[in-house]
Amino acid sequence: MIKKIVVPVVCLFISVCFLSCEKQPLPIFGQRQVVTREENGKQVNDTVYHTIAPFTFTDQDGKTITNETFKGKVYVADFFFTSCRTICPIMKTQMLRVYQEIQNDPEVLLLSHSIDPEYDTVELLHDFAARLDVKSEKWHFATGQPKEYVFDLAQKSYFATAMEDKTEPDGFIHSGAFLLIDRLGRIRGKYDGTKEDDVDRLMKDIKQLERE
Amino acid sequence: MSNRNGTIWISGSILIFLITVFGCSSNTGKPDTSSVKFTQYVVRGEELYQKHCSNCHQKNGSGLGLVYPPLNTSDYMDKNFEKVLCLMKYGLKEEITVNGKNFVQPMPGVVTLTDLEVAEIATYIYNSWDHNRGIVDVTEASRVIKNCATADQ
């Protein structure tokens, strides 16, 4: 009697599980435009997505890094500064977890932008990265541009908040977001870098994005 | 009926357990950690620690790499009790060595902490993880804080 109920229920449960495994593709953030072009005399519609604008920074080794450095790679970006005492220490703890997960994966990179580039010099970031014991070619710490440049990139390209505010305890307002960027420079996910379970979700999404 | 018996039996054994555990500790030479006051200090101290300190030093006191030093095991804490009370309030900006490793990142203090709050956090961190110093009482904290060298921060 019991078997009669249990067996079908278990089967159903298992099949539901399998069905839900068939994952939805990750969303593509931002405005999209449809552009019409001609190909062999026919009208073809292309969708143009929002991408990260071209940028140039100096990393903790004094090397120049640009979009080209990240081209064809999946990467995670965030905004922080070393002297921040509010959310950045938690963000760095969480980013370090991501680092440990992906450190041997050649397809994934990390990019942390300092929003206090005057204080966070190349030397300071070099020391910071060394103290986290992370490799420069895997986790780039970006500085070397005026802060307005960083704020602008954060806002317009990454849809992340970063600005100066002298009334804040640290002198800046910034979001603790981690942004997942795909091989084509499109934003595919936004996560709260201060929440462990949201960062777990990010690590899963990285895997999924790599399979795309 | 049997359920009720079970409950009585369980509560009874818990009571006996508590009496045994706490009854013993009060007569030994170990720090007094059984009083209500101690428990209050630890509970409040933990809340304050989560609010003001765990961002950097982590909930489990492990710190972060060589950026934020550990508190769970720290010879610095063992050797510099008075300095530790001061640095909570006034911060620390010097090169220090913790368990043989050097740290240079400045630590911002929380100037608004009262003497009682410093005592509560101290009681928490000095009786968690590897530490069992016993209560850090508010009168002791006040005496130490009065003598903090605030100029070096």
Residues 6+ apart with CB under 8 A from A208: A23, A26
Tell which residue, B44, B27, B7, has the closest CA to residue B127. B44
CA distance A97 to A199: 9
Residue A107 lies in a domain: yes
- How many structural domains is chain A composed of? 1
Tens digits of residue pLDDT in A4-39: 777 666 656 665 555 555 578 999 999 888 988 888
Please check whether residue A12 lies inside any domain of the structure: no
Q: Give the nearest chain A residue to B103 (CA atoms).
A: A131
Residues 56-85, chain A, touching B (beta carbon < 8 A): 82-83, 85
pLDDT-wise least confident of A96-110, A143-157, A165-179, B94-108: A165-179
Q: Which amino acid is residue A112, in one-letter code?
A: S
In a domain, A177, yes or no: yes
- Candidates A85, A119, A124, partner chain B, best to mutate (most B CBs within 10 A): A85
Closest residue on chain A to B57 (Cα): A89
Domains of chain B: 30-148 (1.10.760.10)
pTM of the model: 0.79
- Using an 8 Å CB-CB cutoff, list chain B residues near A92: 64, 67
In a domain, A170, yes or no: yes
Does the residue A42 lie in any domain?
no
Q: A163-177, pLDDT tens digit by residue? A: 787 777 777 777 899
ipTM > 0.90 (yes/no): no
CATH of the domain at A133: 3.40.30.10
Residue A121's nearest CA partner among A138, A89, A145, A102 is A145
Inform me whether the C-beta atom of residue B58 falls under 8 Å from chain A C-beta atoms. Answer: yes
Is there a contact between A178 and A202 (Cβ–Cβ < 8 Å)?
yes
Has residue A11 been placed in a domain? no
Which tens digits make up the pLDDT trace of A109-120? 999 999 999 999
Q: List chain B residues with CB under 8 Å of A127.
A: 104
CA B49 to CA B13: how far, in whole Å?
Answer: 34
CB pairs under 8 A between A and B: 32
Domain residue limits at A152: 52-211
In a domain, A28, yes or no: no
Residue B66, chain A, CB below 8 Å: the answer is yes
The reply to whether A83 falls in a domain is yes
Per-residue pLDDT band at B104 (split at 50, 70, 90)? very high
Amino acid symbol at B104? V
Q: What distance in Å separates residue B66's CA from the closest CA in chain A? A: 5
Contacts of B77 (CB under 8 A, 6+ apart): B71, B84, B125, B126, B131
Interface of A with B in 148-177 (CB under 8 A): none
Helical spans, DSSP H, in A66-184: 67-70, 88-102, 122-132, 147-152
CA distance B108 to B106: 6
* Closest CA relative to residue B31, chosen from B123, B117, B115, B116: B123
Return the pLDDT at B149.
81
Interface mutation vs chain A, best among B53, B67, B96, B98, most A CBs within 10 Å? B67
Q: What is the pLDDT of residue B32?
A: 65
